[in-house]
Amino acid sequence: MFKVLLIEDDLTLFREIKGRLSQWSYEVHGIEDYDRVMETFTELKPELVLIDIQLPKYDGFHWCRMIREHSNVPIIFLSSRDHPTDMVMSMNLGADDFIQKPFHFDVLVAKIQAILRRVYDYNTEEQELRTFCGATVEPERNRIRNEAGSVELTKNEMFILKQLIQQKNKIVSRDQLIQSLWEDERFVSDNTLTVNVNRLRKRLSEIGLGESIQTKVGQGYMATERMDH
């Protein structure tokens, strides 16, 4: 279930949006104290932020700017204002979309689903990649965890892990990994790949999975489910 932070001070609209999104199994949270917006964001760790422009104390642009200093979480602006400059401003601040009020809820849901699919690769195929060597893989949080604990990965490390899990027990060449990273606009060199894989293996070793990523000299890397080490 995805957590959504809805920064909207119109209680009627807030309740309506929360009710509609809850029907789609989204967990919607609001702001109780507009002096603690960033504290709420940090504590909640939402997968998506919906934010109005006109808010108490500071406007939505301010909070978008603050959030972007700490996170790349998807942000969608909701606004009753129709100034083109508002849309331009929101995009320049790093927002992912801008929806003008009044809007049809089906459009809101469709846009949310599209963004979450794009950002978190949330689909049926992805579900099959969520377990590895008895551990739970959480791409949307860049985290892998098992009974021994949990480790946080960088985006590149998680991307590499996912590529290897997709073809587990098969060798993935270094060229394949580098090409995939480049296609995803994660610009890496051959040396950078080595550093990332070594760091990934080191992180996995913290929860007893260090040997699950094997180096095949002159060929590439392989993620293996065999736990005979």
pLDDT tens-place string over residues 84-134: 788 888 888 888 888 988 888 988 998 898 888 877 765 445 555 678 888
SS3 171: coil
Where in the chain are the domains?
A: 3-120, 125-223
**Inter-axis angle of helices 37-44 and 60-68, nearest 10:** 40
Q: What is the mean pLDDT of residues 2-29?
A: 93
Spell out the alpha helix ranges (H) of 154-205. 155-166, 174-183, 190-205
Q: Could you tell me if 159 and 134 are in contact, meaning their C-beta atoms sit under 8 angstroms apart?
A: no
What's the one-letter identity of residue 28? Answer: V
Given a cut of 70, whether residue 31 has pLDDT beyond it is yes
How is residue 214 written in tokens? 């094997």
Q: State the average pLDDT over residues 68-76.
A: 90
- Helix axis angle, 174-183 relative to 155-166, nearest 10°? 120
- CB 9 within 8 Å of CB 78: no
What average pLDDT score do residues 18-26 get? 91
pLDDT attached to residue 121? 62
Q: What pLDDT digit, counting tens, does each position of 137-180 carry?
A: 888 788 899 989 999 998 889 989 999 998 889 999 998 888 88
Supply the pLDDT for residue 17: 95
Q: What is the CATH number of domain 3-120?
A: 3.40.50.2300
pLDDT score recorded for residue 124: 46
Residue 39 pLDDT more than 90? Answer: yes
pLDDT above 50 (res 227):
no
Mapped onto helix, strand or coil, the DSSP state of residue 169 is coil
Question: Structure tokens of 24?
Answer: 């789609």
CATH for 125-223 (3.50.50.60, 3.40.50.720, 1.10.10.10, 3.40.50.11540): 1.10.10.10
- pLDDT, tens digit, for every residue of 174-212? 988 888 887 765 666 778 888 989 999 999 999 999 899
Fold equal for 3-120 and 125-223? no
